[in-house]
Structure 1
Amino acid sequence: MIYQLVKQLVNQALAAQLIEREDEIYVRNQVLSLLHLVDFKEMVVSEESEIPDLLDQIVEYACEQGIIENLFDAKEIFSSKIMNCFIARPSNVNQLFYEKYQQNPKVATEYFYQLSKNSNYIQMKRIRNNIEYKAATEYGEIDITINLSKPEKDPRSIAREQAAEKTNYPKCLLCVENEGYAGRIDHPARSNHRMIRLNLVEEAWYLQFSPYVYYNEHCIVLFEKHTDMKISPTTFSRLIAFVEQFPHYFLGSNADIPIVGGSILSHEHYQGGNYEFAMAKADSDWTFAMGNFPHVECSIVKWPMSVIRLRSEQKGELVEAGAHILAKWKNYSDEAVGIIAWNDETPHNTITPIARKRGDFFELDLVLRNNRTSEEHPLGIFHPHADVHHIKKENIGLIEVMGLAVLPARLKEELEDVENYIIGKTADVANYHLSWAEELKAHYHSVADESNVESLVREEVGKKFLKALEDAGVFKRDEAGTAGFQRFIQSL
């Protein structure tokens, strides 16, 4: 059976163009070596399976034979090592990428995306477990994802991880030193990981895809050096430089301070991809002009968060306009709407920026952020409030800002309980959902049944996420908030 699995894996690698026919015997021998096999029997393959399914079966064989321990991390490391046999070295991958780039940037990124999926670096089999749908709002259709792609570790793996000797290599999950790194009990397997070398404003950067993509061609662009995230005028220059090189992609940055920032603030990096979010499609609420930047079109975006959109054909002036707004915002206070820029030496204001190219125009969206806390809102004043924590308690980072909710896996079963509660099939629902479930039951009791209750609850989850975005907006979309936003624009 193992010979058949190896044969099928080689066949699938040929079909996916991971290898050429001349590589067949070489890569087969590499895989046999990992499996401690010293011979090979040619088998007739009656059916073909997908690469992830074949990997799972081969890894299971390795566990049964005692080649590896039956632990999550050990299996991930072994699977990654197998697929590394089929992938070219980084220099070859980069050479082919830039050959294709000469044809068209889109051809190059599509090649690299397919390579990352076919090599199982992007875990498509697991990603398909995610629950994904769109929810209609007054701001357009927002995306909802219940993240089921990352498997739970078993208690033995967790215990091993806690007991593992700590090392500082690679320094974090993003560092370039992850490329080809085998992994260990407390660090993910990266043998099959490749990065594309980039030059952004005369600096060395790297392009990779997220192993658990949340949207089409979800990429990460990371700095060569392990330095802290920092939003600065240089950030805007880099984002614009990237979308000039890859005009079919957007690129944005998480904010650089806690609560409103991303999960990794210790390594300068951005996220982008070939996807148009609801925020990118949103219309303007109103427009304004800044006298010192006559070639920059300025508008306020119709969006639950506070977004300034700048458009120009002139990159330099666009970056300067963004830098002007950033400098003003970092020191801007308006206590009438709860905005205080500093507490002693602690800054509270920053920006989540997103860049894209539309025809000859460059666009820069600047989302105003503030991370203050209070007794009423200890997790953040401009953060999802307590009434939505049962759905979304985590930070509103770059992806959420643009209109894609990444919701915890617990919601899969919990929302099914809420659905059954609404139609009277169960009285058992998590305590933190109870008041919401009762409210929905009272509202939908006359129309909800097994045929439509799922769609009704999904719609209500969309409303909760929308409320989370509204909570994160520094200038609320009411009379006081609009007046406050106008005061800030006047200050520009």
Structure 2
Amino acid sequence: MIYSDIEALLEQTCKEGLIKERDIIYVRNQVIQLLKMTTYPTHKILTSSGSIPELLDRIIDYAVKENIIDDILDEKEMLAASLMNCFMPRPSTVQTLFDWYYEQSPEQATEFFYKLSRNSNYIQTNRLDKNISHKVQTEYGEMDITINLSKPEKDPEQIKREQMAKQDESYPFCVLCKENEGYAGRIGYPARSNHRVIEMVLGDEKWFFHYSPYTYYEEHSIISSNKHRDMKINTDTFRRLLEFIDKFPHYFIGSNADLPIVGGSITSHDHYQAGAYTFAMTDAKDRYTFPIHAHPDVRAAVLHWPMTVIRLLADEQEKLLEAANSILTFWRDYNDEDASILSYTDKTPHNTITPIARMRDGSYEMDLVLRNNRTSATHPLGIFHPHEDIHHIKKENIGLIEVMGLAILPPRLETELEGVTKYLAGKSDEVHPAHEEWARQLRQTHGLLHNEEYAAEVVQKELGKKFVRGLEDAGVFKDDAAFQRFITKLNQKAVSSKN
């Protein structure tokens, strides 16, 4: 069976364009060497059926059964990546092909690279299919709700190996560093043998473009700095975002904030996220427009969105850049005690921005999401962070992806929400302790729902409401009066600076 799976993998990768027929003997020999085979049938072998990920999984199962590797996550991941690397072109070849496609059109270039990343199993589509996803209609548009099940759970042996492994390795520095390209991996660090990146220039610096192995949305891509340095939101950030959408006008690009609590999961390496997906925030309507006196050629609007968002639109890149920078500079030092906003505690900064850029009908558009990471005795995880009454659903940071309207919820909710559904349907009186109060509230609101399918729909809708509540908690201005004070002072400062 193993020979049938290997031959099927060769056939499938040839069909998908990863290799050519001329490569088959060479690649087969690379594969059997990794599987420690000393012989191979010379007669024609009937190929088995299955997708590339399915065939790869079966080959890994064989390696475990034959004691080629131990049955722990990291060893299986490393062998899988090394096997697929046999089918991958060298980085220089990938770059040359990407550049050639880019000359035809940016869309063709990203289509080529995205397909390569999927077919090489770097984007692990079989795991992504495990995610539980649905859409929920809200007053702010159609939100995406995802329970993230794509990242495999670690078994006790894996955890033990990680604890035993040395903790002082500094190569690569982190999972976003350029040195990950082709890195075999180690216990406690992901395998990247089949990883390829595209080199590009943004703001006179070298940057690297690649896709996320656990894509949360269509063509979820990462653009990471050539240098291992902390994330920073500044004029250079805005310039790079605008340059990127010049190069790839069919993509949006955004950055997580650069402060703890309001930042993403990785703030130690400067990077952005991009893609082809249309989030609910993309289609958000204006609540009202307002003038920025210092930048009359830039259209500014406050969005109808649960968080605090200013949308800027301009025909000229430089004018939009100047307007965005003036708002960031002003917001960094902005205080409004009535709105619980303090820009500093001693020398510790609290105000920053989550920016998102895109092309809109040939013009440059940038959303500036105002963020503040202050904490208090009442809200020790953050004043502008999901509050305690929704921690049973979402306790983690609100990062870039969630800012735009896509919830990434923890895997524990898969079974916990099944319990809430059964409780609403009258099939069980037990729910997870964290959800007891919420479940009672739902039953009071909706009554006893004897149809379990309908109860599941109710839980999905109520889950969406909880997510929106978390975004509202993260909004820094809770009413238009606070927003108007900010706009007024922004324009007053521009006038005083001019005088």
- State the distance in 2 between where 1:39 and 1:447 align: 62
- State the distance in 2 between where 1:482 and 1:190 align: 46
Map 1:399-418 → 2, pairs under 5 A = 399-418=401-420
- State the distance in 2 between where 1:296 and 1:232 align: 19
The corresponding residue for 1:370 is 372
Shift of 1:481: 3.8
Structure 2 residue 127 is matched with structure 1 residue 129: no
The corresponding residue for 2:497 is none
The corresponding residue for 1:70 is 71
Shift of 1:359: 2.7
Cα gap change, 1:243 to 1:479, in 2 (>3 Å): closer
The corresponding residue for 1:37 is 37
* Range 136-145 or range 423-432, more displaced: 423-432
The corresponding residue for 1:197 is 199
Question: Aligned to 2:266, which of 245, 264, 267?
Answer: 264
- State the distance in 1 between where 2:404 and 2:7 align: 44
Question: Aligned to 1:344, which of 323, 343, 346?
Answer: 346
Question: Aligned to 2:220, which of 218, 221, 234?
Answer: 218
Cα gap change, 1:314 to 1:483, in 2 (>3 Å): closer
Which deviations, in whole Å up to 9, do the C-alpha atoms of 1:33-79 show, x marking residues without a partner? 11111222144425421111111111111112221111110000000
Structure 2 residue 433 is matched with structure 1 residue 431: yes
The corresponding residue for 1:7 is 7
Shift of 1:376: 0.5
**Which residue type is aligned with residue 28 of structure 1?**
R
Secondary structure of the 2:11 match is helix
**Which residue type is aligned with residue 259 of structure 1?**
I
Asked whether the equivalents of residues 424 and 448 of structure 2 are also in contact (C-alpha less than 8 Å), the reply is no
Secondary structure of the 1:165 match is coil
Cα gap change, 1:404 to 1:290, in 2 (>3 Å): same
**Which residue type is aligned with residue 64 of structure 2?**
C
Cα gap change, 1:292 to 1:480, in 2 (>3 Å): closer
- State the distance in 2 between where 1:243 and 1:448 align: 51
The corresponding residue for 1:23 is 23
Which deviations, in whole Å up to 9, do the C-alpha atoms of 1:249-306 show, x marking residues without a partner? 0000000000000111110000010011111100111111222222211111111101
Asked whether the equivalents of residues 423 and 441 of structure 1 are also in contact (C-alpha less than 8 Å), the reply is no
Cα gap change, 1:373 to 1:273, in 2 (>3 Å): same
**Which residue type is aligned with residue 31 of structure 1?**
V
Hey, which bits of structure 1, 4+ residues long, moved more than 6 A?
Answer: none
- State the distance in 2 between where 1:467 and 1:342 align: 26
Shift of 1:432: 1.2
Shift of 1:442: 1.6
Secondary structure of the 2:452 match is coil
Aligned residue pairs, count: 491
Cα gap change, 1:266 to 1:404, in 2 (>3 Å): same
**Which residue type is aligned with residue 155 of structure 2?**
D
Asked whether the equivalents of residues 354 and 366 of structure 1 are also in contact (C-alpha less than 8 Å), the reply is yes
Question: Aligned to 1:308, which of 284, 289, 310?
Answer: 310
The corresponding residue for 2:147 is 146
Asked whether the equivalents of residues 330 and 490 of structure 2 are also in contact (C-alpha less than 8 Å), the reply is no
Which deviations, in whole Å up to 9, do the C-alpha atoms of 1:100-136 show, x marking residues without a partner? 1111101110110110010000010000000111110
Asked whether the equivalents of residues 426 and 449 of structure 2 are also in contact (C-alpha less than 8 Å), the reply is no
Question: Aligned to 2:459, which of 448, 452, 457?
Answer: 457
- State the distance in 2 between where 1:81 and 1:229 align: 31
Question: Aligned to 2:276, which of 274, 277, 281?
Answer: 274
**Which residue type is aligned with residue 426 of structure 2?**
G
- TM-score by structure 1 length? 0.98
Map 1:83-162 → 2, pairs under 5 A = 83-162=84-163
Shift of 1:430: 1.1
**Which residue type is aligned with residue 32 of structure 1?**
I
- State the distance in 2 between where 1:258 and 1:177 align: 26
Asked whether the equivalents of residues 285 and 304 of structure 2 are also in contact (C-alpha less than 8 Å), the reply is yes
Asked whether the equivalents of residues 294 and 491 of structure 2 are also in contact (C-alpha less than 8 Å), the reply is no
Asked whether the equivalents of residues 425 and 448 of structure 2 are also in contact (C-alpha less than 8 Å), the reply is no
**Which residue type is aligned with residue 36 of structure 1?**
K
Secondary structure of the 1:354 match is strand
Secondary structure of the 1:452 match is helix
Structure 2 residue 336 is matched with structure 1 residue 322: no
Secondary structure of the 1:451 match is helix
- State the distance in 2 between where 1:128 and 1:205 align: 30
Which deviations, in whole Å up to 9, do the C-alpha atoms of 1:203-243 show, x marking residues without a partner? 10000101000000000000000010000010000000001
Question: Aligned to 2:180, which of 173, 178, 181?
Answer: 178
* Range 241-250 or range 481-490, more displaced: 481-490
Structure 2 residue 358 is matched with structure 1 residue 381: no
Where structure 2 has 5 or more consecutive residues not aligned to the other structure, the ranges are: 495-499
**Which residue type is aligned with residue 317 of structure 2?**
K
Secondary structure of the 1:136 match is strand
Secondary structure of the 2:142 match is strand
The corresponding residue for 2:356 is 354
- TM-score by structure 2 length? 0.96
Which deviations, in whole Å up to 9, do the C-alpha atoms of 1:116-161 show, x marking residues without a partner? 0100000100000001111101110011000000010111111110
Cα gap change, 1:162 to 1:411, in 2 (>3 Å): same
Secondary structure of the 1:12 match is helix
- RMSD over aligned Cα, in angstroms? 1.2
Secondary structure of the 1:310 match is strand
Cα gap change, 1:488 to 1:151, in 2 (>3 Å): farther
Secondary structure of the 2:453 match is coil
**Which residue type is aligned with residue 119 of structure 1?**
S
Question: Aligned to 2:229, which of 224, 227, 230?
Answer: 227
- State the distance in 2 between where 1:63 and 1:445 align: 51
Asked whether the equivalents of residues 475 and 485 of structure 1 are also in contact (C-alpha less than 8 Å), the reply is no
- State the distance in 2 between where 1:8 and 1:484 align: 65
Task: Give identity over the alignment, percent.
Answer: 53
Secondary structure of the 1:454 match is helix
Where structure 1 has 5 or more consecutive residues not aligned to the other structure, the ranges are: none
* Range 51-60 or range 391-400, more displaced: 51-60
- State the distance in 1 between where 2:489 and 2:131 align: 40
Shift of 1:443: 1.5
- State the distance in 2 between where 1:213 and 1:105 align: 20
Asked whether the equivalents of residues 291 and 300 of structure 2 are also in contact (C-alpha less than 8 Å), the reply is yes
Shift of 1:190: 0.2
- State the distance in 2 between where 1:488 and 1:68 align: 64
Secondary structure of the 1:121 match is coil
* Range 188-197 or range 427-436, more displaced: 427-436
Structure 2 residue 77 is matched with structure 1 residue 80: no
Shift of 1:348: 0.2
The corresponding residue for 1:245 is 247
- State the distance in 2 between where 1:180 and 1:3 align: 26
- State the distance in 2 between where 1:448 and 1:382 align: 38
